[in-house]
Amino acid sequence: MRAMTRELLDKQLHELFEGLLSMGGMVEKAIERAIQALVKRDTRLAQDVIDEDAAIDKFRWKLEEECLRLLATQQPMATDLRTVGAVLSILADVERMGDHAEGIARIVLRIADQPPLKPLIDIPRMARKCQEDLHLVLQSFINHDVEQARRICAEDDEVDALYKQVFSELLVIMMGDPRTVDRATYLIWVAHNLERIHDRITNVGERVVFMVTGRLEELNV
Amino acid sequence: MLDIRGLAKLAQERSPGQSDEKKGRGKGITVESLNAWYGSLHAIRDINMNVLPNQITAVIGPSGCGKSTFIRCLNRMHEVIPRARATGRVLLDKTDIYSPETDAVEIRRRIGMVFQKPNPFPTMSIFDNVAAGLRLNGVRGRGRLQDVVERSLRRAALWEEVKDKLKESGVALSGGQQQRLCIARALAVEPEVLLMDEPASALDPVATLKIEDLMRELRDEYTIVIVTHNMQQAARVSDFTGFFLSGEDRSGELIEFGATGELFTRPKDKRTEDYITGRFG
């Protein structure tokens, strides 16, 4: 009887993990498509990203509800308890990453009718790093891989450095020609959104460490 | 060995409402190398534990792990079973309860016990149930008895429900009320420690929560040790938890002991983790 209860809990946890991975996949796609829309000045694609964010939000609530139901019905302890606690926190972070992707798509709608300021290099690079690391950090969650989680958190500095680079580059352009201020500011916002996404990825990494070790550590301040 | 000062500090952090000045009568119990047998069956092996004063200590573990045997050793109730014996030291504050000079009856007064099934004396009224222990201890005088009975029933959170029917039979009460009556009976003789062996397992959820609320109130005045197989209950009410498990030879051992919040969120021993996450059996 006990073993069956345990099996049910394992099944519920497994479903939760699958849900979290799907949600992560949706957000990865949103980041990719938001940047694609920016590069191609594709307002239809940008609008799609905005529309699909509602689905991500809805999915998050569904998974959160499953966590709460699991807490209420299974009253998990120890690793199980930390796992559900970690999922609750990760859901919020991943959903917020989706919001940042949506934010980028909204910027695309505002600047699509203006000529490009410069070829985009570092911003797509930042976006790729975010996509990859989001994928890796969720993988480290599923595999309980603390080392991988720590590594991703350590790489947050790389994204911060890229952000600073974008920022100073755009600053130089703005100083050279005040007419570019509007477009450059929007691009800084885009980069800022990406930088924040990677911060959230770091949060997820911290939760992975917490889930496995039981200790909350700030991994990249 | 466990670092008792570290534990005491932890416990204090957990209960900021309880300052040093407001110490209750509760005394600590130190258990050293405690072993107990039923005939040839070695029921518990080499138990070392510090039960801190005015804290609730829960003992959890699967059936047959020796947790009931353990608390019955704490007030010399184990030895009343034929062929049962115990070795090791159990200190109530500074009194060695197994020393030949120590009076077992006096120990059982200082360390009261409440059992799984409420067991009020069936032929006695509510009043007489609570007064029974006092009369045994030679307390006489209606006025004095009345005072203690009322105070004990109030402490057991039962007074308001029974004050108008003190002459009625104790068994006419509901299960939860009967259990609180037994707690009042145990409190009447002014114990320092209260042992509770599955005190709520025969009660419905509402009566259970009442007992748990009561335990938290009593903690200010008494030291409480509770045996429970309900982990959620241990997690809810206790400050410290000990996990017992029997090994290959069926002897129960203390696998892990620590602050309850720690033990249920990040247990140190794999066996504790497996038990509390339901991976056993």
Residue A86 CA from chain centroid, whole number: 15
Is a pLDDT exceeding 60 seen at residue A30? yes
Predicted local distance difference test score (pLDDT) of residue B21: 43
Q: What percent of chain B has pLDDT over 90?
A: 77
Predicted local distance difference test score (pLDDT) of residue B13: 53
Is a pLDDT exceeding 60 seen at residue B14? no
- Count Cα atoms within 13 angstroms, Cβ side, for B50: 14
B251: nearest Cα among B66, B40, B13, B10: B66
Is a pLDDT exceeding 90 seen at residue A124? yes
Q: What percent of chain B has pLDDT over 70?
A: 91
Tell me the fold of A2-213: Methane Monooxygenase Hydroxylase; Chain G, domain 1 (1.20.58)
Residue A3: list chain B partners with CB under 8 A. 281
- On whether any CB of chain A is under 8 Å from the CB of B273, the answer is yes
Mean pLDDT, all residues of chain B = 90
- On whether any CB of chain A is under 8 Å from the CB of B270, the answer is no
Predicted local distance difference test score (pLDDT) of residue A215: 87
Compute the 3-state secondary structure of chain A and give helix, strand, coil in percent, each to the nearest 5: 85, 0, 15
Is a pLDDT exceeding 70 seen at residue A1? no
Alpha helices in chain B (DSSP H): 4-14, 67-74, 104-110, 126-136, 142-155, 159-162, 175-188, 205-218, 231-237, 260-265, 270-276
Taking CA atoms, B241 is separated from A17, A136, B114, B264, in Å, by 31, 38, 19, 9
- On whether any CB of chain B is under 8 Å from the CB of A76, the answer is yes
Segment B204-229 shows an average pLDDT of: 93
Is a pLDDT exceeding 70 seen at residue A36? yes
pLDDT band at B11; cut points 50, 70, 90: low
Question: Which of A3, A77, A215 comes nearest B264 by C-beta?
Answer: A77
Sketch out chain B's domains with CATH numbers: 4-117+192-276 (3.40.50.300)
List, for residues B239-265, the tens digit of each pLDDT value. 999 999 998 888 999 999 999 999 999
Alpha-carbon distance B62 to nearest alpha carbon in chain A (angstroms):
12
Question: Which of B265, B280, B281 comes nearest A78 by C-beta?
Answer: B265
ipTM field: 0.71
Instruction: Tell me if B76 sits within 8 A of B108, measured CB to CB.
Output: yes
Q: Mean pLDDT check: name the lowest of B17-21, B82-86, B176-180, B184-188.
A: B17-21
Angle, vertex CA B10, rays to CA A215 and CA A209, nearest 5:
5
Question: Which of A3, A79, A215 comes nearest B277 by C-beta?
Answer: A79
Is a pLDDT exceeding 70 seen at residue B40? yes
* Contact: A76, B277; criterion CB under 8 Å: yes
Question: Which of B232, B264, B281 comes nearest A78 by C-beta?
Answer: B264
**Does residue A161 or residue B5 have the better pLDDT?**
A161
pTM > 0.90: no
A-B contacts (CB, under 8 Å): 35
Segment B201-225 shows an average pLDDT of: 92
Segment A104-119 shows an average pLDDT of: 94
Residue A81: list chain B partners with CB under 8 A. 264-265
Segment A20-48 shows an average pLDDT of: 97
Residue A215: list chain B partners with CB under 8 A. 266
List, for residues B88-134, the tens digit of each pLDDT value. 999 999 999 999 999 999 999 999 999 988 999 999 999 999 999 88
Q: Mean pLDDT check: name the lowest of A132-141, A148-157, B98-107, B133-142.
A: B133-142
